[in-house]
Each structure stands twice: as structure tokens, then as C-alpha cells.
Structure 1
Amino acid sequence: MENKFLHKAVVVWSNVCRFLLAVVFLFSGFVKANDPLGTVYKVQDYLEAWGLQSLSAGYMPYLAAMLCALLEFILGIYLFFGIRRRVAPLLVLLVMSFMTPLTLWLAIANPISDCGCFGDAVVLTNWETFFKNVVLLIAAISVFKWRQYIFNLVTTKVDWLISLYSILFIIFFMLFCLRYLPVFDFRPYHVGADIVKGMTIPEGEKPTVYETLFIYSKDGKEQEFTIDNFPTDSTWIFVDSKTRVKEKGYEPPIHDFSITSLETGEDLTDDILHSEQYTFLLVAPWLKQADDSGMDLINEVYDYSVEHGYRFLCLTASSEQDITDWQENTGAEYPFALMDEITLKTMIRSTPGLILLKKGVVLRKWSVSNLPDEYQLNAPLEKLPFSTWNPKTSVHKVVEVTGWFLGPLLLLTVVDLIWLRIKSRKKKKEKENKKETL
């Protein structure tokens, strides 16, 4: 009786662990596929933290980002449906055996702010990520040890179809989001976002208090000082300074939005965020790496904005020489402004990308692959659908993406089962015919 109870407990535990891993891997792989460029940026952060800057400039980060999203999503599918019950638990165990010590190093050394395992959808601290991975590692060990108890949700007749279709779906979804923009935008600059509100600390909330430490050396020994106990002895030699969080408080989701005119050096932030007029922002963190295939359309949008009295700015973190080269190569006549590179990368996942603002509210976003043309911009913005935002709700998008995944999959599965049944009937008929002839 005790052995029977223990057996049931092991079966339940192994399958609970299996579904936990499946959900986490599916979610992690999907959000990476949803924001492939964001995953590329995170891979580049890892490479720079490991001193491999030479690899971060080529195609390697793109390949790594896509393989990571594909592997996690497919392993999640395998575990969820009970496909490849020998290979999938082993691969999951290997992944968690690698990720757990890696996230421990991240938590101790803190070379990057977060691991990026769930993109911008769920941001965890490095210690939270490590403890999460400890739980997942225990689950992975359990599933691998008792993999014989994993039950199938589908028959072996269609598991190959689910596997193949899932691979094709996540690849095409990833390429779609890379060419256009993420279907789900979890960043504070999503369509409909009020940037001014995102920069404001709510009433009653305390801001984070920072403290600057000054490092001085004397007689070969270094010591840290604050502004309150600054050394008066002139024999101390300044070495470095650093800022740390003294008291954690509320941090607004947007805190580095600052626009400086390249031509005059004037701070344009407040003027743009509180302006009643429409503003087109062409966002290109590094013009050297920007895609210039849509420059004709961008120049048309600029001409359109001049004709109707709208503002147009190119925001970049590039050097003046790169800006000059861009102007010569593309015929750009629009003004330029400088902004922080990380903020620009966060604003839109396209290099370049186009954003339409009014009174600090994001009305529209376009990637370089779907810029508006003269046929769409055929009247003042007030008379076009661009003048207001009416985005799909998150629930609508979830239903739509789920439908795109499950709809064709169910159709293909039904077709495959019908075909198998037809083949089975043919074989049965052939056997009957052979018996009759005998």
C-alpha cells in the first residue's frame, strides 16, 4: 500500500514539475521571440560582460538570440505535450545546469542589471532569477529522473506534426517581430503611453536616494569618502568616484528621456513633451548600423511634416561625423538631436524606427519596414487614423496569436488523422482483396 501511494506521489510530482517547466520555457521562449532585437541587445550585454566585444558587432548575437528563443519554446512544447520524452528532459536538465551557476555569477558579480530571461515582460533581479532557477533545476532533475512517468497529451501519430509546426510557427513569428515591431510591447514607450506620466513620481511616493562615494588614496591605501566626511588633508589623491543606492524608493518607468538639440545644444525635452503639435521622431541609436533602405519614405514623411507644420526630429547617440555621413548618403535635411543610447533602444525596436507623438503621448510606431507612404499620408493628421490611438488590447492580441498557433495546428492535425485513416482503410482493403484471391 505504501509503495502504491509513493508511486502515485512520484507520478504526480514528476508531471507537476514537467508542466511547471513547460510553462516557464514556453513563456520565456515566446517573449524572446516576440522581442528578438531586445534579446540581441541582452546577448550583446553578456558578451561585453565576458570581454568578447569583438563578437557583439556581427551576426553572432542575432543567431544566439534566435536559437535561444527557438530552443526554449520547442522544449516547452515537448514537455507540455509529452513529446520526445527521452531527449526533452535531458536537454532541459542541461539548460538548467548551465543557467543556474550562470545566474549565481550574475547575482554575485552583478555585471548586468538583469538576466533578461523574460525580456521586458517580467523583470527580475539577479538574485530573484537565481532562486527561480534553483527551483527549476530541482524540477528538471525530477523530470529527468522520473521521465518514464510523463504521460502524452497527443498520440505518436501527430506528435511529429506538432513538433514541426511549432518550430515553423516560432521562427516565422520571430522574423515577423524582427522585421516589423514586437506584437506585445512591454516597454514604457508602447502605443498609448504618456511619457510625461511615465516620468512622474506619484504623490506620496519617495524617490530613490543616491549617494556618491569618492575614492582617494594615501600611502598606497585607498579609502572611500562621502560628501559629509570629505578629506581636508591635501595629501589624499583622488582615484575614482561611484554612485550607490542609499535608500531604495519609487523609480518611474521612464527616467532618462532627455533630448538635446545638436545644432544649438538646447534642451528640447519639455518643449516636445508638452507641445500641442504633432511630432515625428526618427529613432536611430547608431546611424552607422542603421538600415537606410527606407530613406526615401523617411524623406517623404519629413516633407509631409514640413508641408503641414509638424515637427520632425532624428534622435541619435551618433557622433557628428556619423551624422554628417548619414546626411550625405541619404539626402537627409531634417534636424538632429542627441539622446541616450539605451533610451533610444528602449523606445522602439527598429533601427531606424519612427514614432508619432502629441503632448507626450505615443500615437503610432513604425519600423523601417512598414513606414507610412504618400498614399497613407494624403491629408492632415487630424483627418487620418494616425491622429488618435486605438490599439488592440492585450487580451485581443493573446487570442489572435493563440488562434494563429492553434487554428492551423488543429487543421493540420485533423487532415493528418484523416489521411492516416484513409491509408489504414486502403491497407485493410488490400488485405481483404488478397484473402479473396487466395
Structure 2
Amino acid sequence: MKYLVGFLRIFIGIFFIISGLIKLNDPVGFSFKLQDYFAPDVLNLEFLVPYSLMIALFVVVYEVMLGVMLILGYAKRFTLWSLIAMIVFFTFLTFYSAYFNKVTDCGCFGDALKLTPWESFWKDIVLLILILIVFFWRKHLTPFFTANFRSIAVMISFVLCLWLGYHVLMHLPIVDFRAYKIGKNIQEGMTVPDDALPPIIEYQWKYEINGKEKTITNTSGLDPQPEGGTRIGVETDFIREPYEPPIHDFTIERDDQDFTEDFLTEEKLVVVIAYNLDNTEIEGFANIKKVTDEALKKGYKVIGLSASSTAETEELARKQKLNFQFYFCDMTTLKTIVRSNPGILELSKGTILQKLHWNDAEDFKLN
């Protein structure tokens, strides 16, 4: 048990550190996921939505710190009870999502690794078992290094977590795992490849035969038409889901017209994204205006994208003296493209060349 507990403390600790750091790299994205859980049709905790970013930062920093503390053997009793409480809470969330099919991606590993709700649930069950093994045989959990060294290591880890959280909020995630990262082409991301596996659909044909209900299953889609049977109905399930392109909700629309293809063929396009004007950071548009005015002088096409109404975007453009029009795009898509409200991108024939937080707009390079 001594060696098993020794191995598990390292394994669980590294797991929590990696999981936490991936989310700490993108706390805004994790806060969006928490908002999904707080929605009225899920946990009905709408009063927590305004605090979702603060909660997200607390959870991910706490997750990283528990991993560090477990490995070091720091505050053993507090660390183990905290690990149990956290994994029980997340197990409940993933079970609720899976059983009621409420949130289809738990966000456990951000955009780096997508897990289905049931995969997330069973992952948490395994972790819970491993943590309980360490808890019940905690007498074998001997601390590493001296007490002073452990305290200093924990404090340094905490400060580094706070710095990373602040840095990515004031700029953008250090590592971008999304389909809209720099170098990606939007048109290609919306394309279904020729070698994509087709969906497999299971048909469950229900018949009444000799007064008894019978279900006949096939994947051909052809009605089996059994002799003497009266069809009651048919249900379908996907054995293999249809291929979904990484980018599937990107559009550029205005006045009920679709301009997506037009703008994605532009060689020099600057896009300003403000997904929701109700909570956009107005002070950011001063930096944005300097860049967009210069871009227009240098022959760039400049547009804005927002999920807010045309009246709201036109009012914003008037007040901020912006020399470009806003177009409509789905809010979730815009949140995915850039974790800044507003943010700014450069596209060339649909390929993303630059993507910056409004704080860094002055670093935007124009040819």
C-alpha cells in the first residue's frame, strides 16, 4: 500500500495540475461553461451568472493548488478532504449532465480535450476511487522535503497561478486549442472532408404481430414488413454520429443577407468582435479605433461582428466614431473565436493571421 499510495499521490496530483492549468489558460472559456450549468433549464442558478468568471478562477486555481499540495504532502488532512469534496461535486455535475443530457461538454479539459458527459462521469468515478484509496491509507502519505520548503513551494505556486490568471484575462490564452486559432482557415474548418465516416443509424421498427408487440432492429433503413405484422412506429438512434466540422455556426449577416463568402475571400480583412454590447468593455474601442482607422487608410476592409442588434451596434459606432459597419454572428461562435470583448483579428482569404485582445491592439501589425 505504501508504494500504491505513493504512485497515486503523484498521478492524482499531476492530473489535477494539468486539468487546472488547461482551464486556467482560458478562465473566460470555463466561465462560459459554468454559465451553461447555471442556466434555468439545468441547475437554475441564474443569480450566479454575474459571478461566473470569479467562480471559474477560484475553482481552477484551487484545483491546481490541490494537485501541488497532494504531491508535496502539504496540509494532508485539509488537502484530502478538499479533493474528495471537489471530485464529489464534479461527479454530481457530470452525472446530472449525462443523465438529463443538459450540458454536452463538461469543460473538464477546456477545448484541449472534448469528453462526452458519460465519459466525464466515469472519469470522475475512477478519480473518486483513487482519491478514496489515498484517503483511507493516508498514513502512508509522507510529506516530501522540509516544512519550510513545502510552505514556500505552495506559496510560489499560488502566486504563479494568480499571475497566469491575470495575464490571460488581460491578454488572451497562452495556448489556443480552438478551431479559430492563428493559422487556421475558416472555410476549411467548415468543410466536411471526403474521407469523413458516414453516420450509422439504427432503426427500431415496432410491429404488432399476433397480438404482441415486437421490435425489429436494422441499420439499412428498409422497412422489414414482417408477414402478418401491423407497424406501430419506428424510432432511430445514432450508432455513429454524423461528422461535424470544427466550425459549423460561423456566418456574417446583415439585413437578412449572408455576406460570409464575400468577406472570407477578402485578402486584407480586419474583423472587430464584440459578441455582446451589454457587457463589452467600452474603453477598449479607443485602441480598436486607432487600428481600424489606420487599416482603412492602408486599403484593408474593416467590419465588426456582434450578436447584438443592428440598432445597438450602430449606436456604438456613432458614439465611438467607428468607421465601419457591424454584421451579425452567433454569440457562442463569437465567444469561441476570441476571449476578448472587444477583440480584433486579421483574415486573409479566411485564414486567421492575427488575433489580439483589445489591450494589445497597438501591437496589431498592418502592411
TM-score, shorter chain, exceeding 0.5: yes
Instruction: Please tell me whether the aligned partners of residues 85 and 148 of structure 1 are also in contact (alpha carbons under 8 angstroms).
Output: no
CA distance in 1, matches of 2:201, 2:48: 34
Partner SS for 1:297: helix
Name the SS for the 1:130 alignment partner: helix
Per the alignment, residue 336 of structure 1 pairs with 326
1:192 aligns with 2:183: yes
1:251 match = 244
Deviation track 1:16-44 (CA, whole Å, cap 9, x = no partner) reads 22122111210111111110110111111
Say whether 1:359 aligns with 2:352. Answer: no
Q: Label 1:290 to 1:153 Cα distance change in 2 as closer, same or farther (>3 A).
A: same
Please say which of residues 180-189 and 287-296 is displaced more in the overlay: 287-296
The residue aligned with 1:165 is 156
2:364 is aligned with 1:371: no
Alignment of 1:302 with 2:292, yes or no, is: yes
Mapped pair 1:177 → 2:165? no
Match for residue 206 of structure 2? none
Q: Which residue of 1 aligns with 2:35?
A: 44
CA contact (8 A) 2:171 2:356 kept: yes
Structure 2 residue ranges without an equivalent (≥5): 203-221, 224-235
What's the offset of the Cα at 1:367?
0.3
CA distance in 2, matches of 1:247, 1:72: 34
- Residue among 253, 261, 272 paired with 1:270: 261
Greater Cα shift, 160-169 or 195-204: 195-204
Amino acid at match of 1:326: L
On the 8 A contact 1:201/1:207 being kept in 2, the answer is no
Q: Aligned residue for 1:232?
A: none
Q: Match for 1:53 among 25, 30, 46?
A: 46
1:323 matched residue in structure 2: 313
- Tell me which stretches of 4 or more aligned residues in structure 1 moved more than 6 Å: none
Structure 1 vs Structure 2 CA RMSD: 2.2
Give the conservation status (yes or no) of the 8 Å contact 1:259–1:267.
yes
1:17-416 equivalent positions in 2, closer than 5 A: 17-48=8-39, 49-56=42-49, 58=50, 60-206=51-197, 248-260=241-253, 262=254, 264-275=255-266, 277-372=267-362, 381-382=366-367
CA distance in 2, matches of 1:190, 1:74: 29
Segments of 5+ residues of structure 1 without an aligned counterpart are 1-9, 212-227, 230-242, 383-438
Alpha-carbon distance in 2 for matches of 1:306, 1:328: 17
Deviations 1:255-274 (A, max 9, x none): 111111x2x53322112222
Secondary structure, counterpart of 2:147 in structure 1 = coil
TM-score by length of 2: 0.86
Distance 1:152 1:67 in 2: 25
Matched residue of 1:119: which SS?
coil
Deviation at residue 244 of structure 1 after TM alignment: 8.2
What amino acid sits opposite 1:197 in the alignment?
E
Q: Which residue type is aligned with residue 183 of structure 1? A: I
* Cα displacement string for residues 372-392 of structure 1 (whole angstroms, at most 9, x for unaligned residues): 26xx75xxx34xxxxxxxxxx
Is the radius of gyration larger for structure 1 or structure 2?
1
Share of identical aligned residues, percent? 33
Q: Distance in 1 between matches of 2:97 and 2:343?
A: 32
TM-fit CA distance, 1:83: 1.8
Task: Tell me which amino acid in the other structure corresponds to 1:102.
Answer: L
Mapped to 2, the partners of 1:252 and 1:62 lie a distance apart of: 29
Instruction: Give the aligned residue type for 2:59.
Output: C
Number of residues of Structure 1 aligned to a counterpart in Structure 2: 334
Aligned to 2:91, the other structure's residue is in SS state: helix
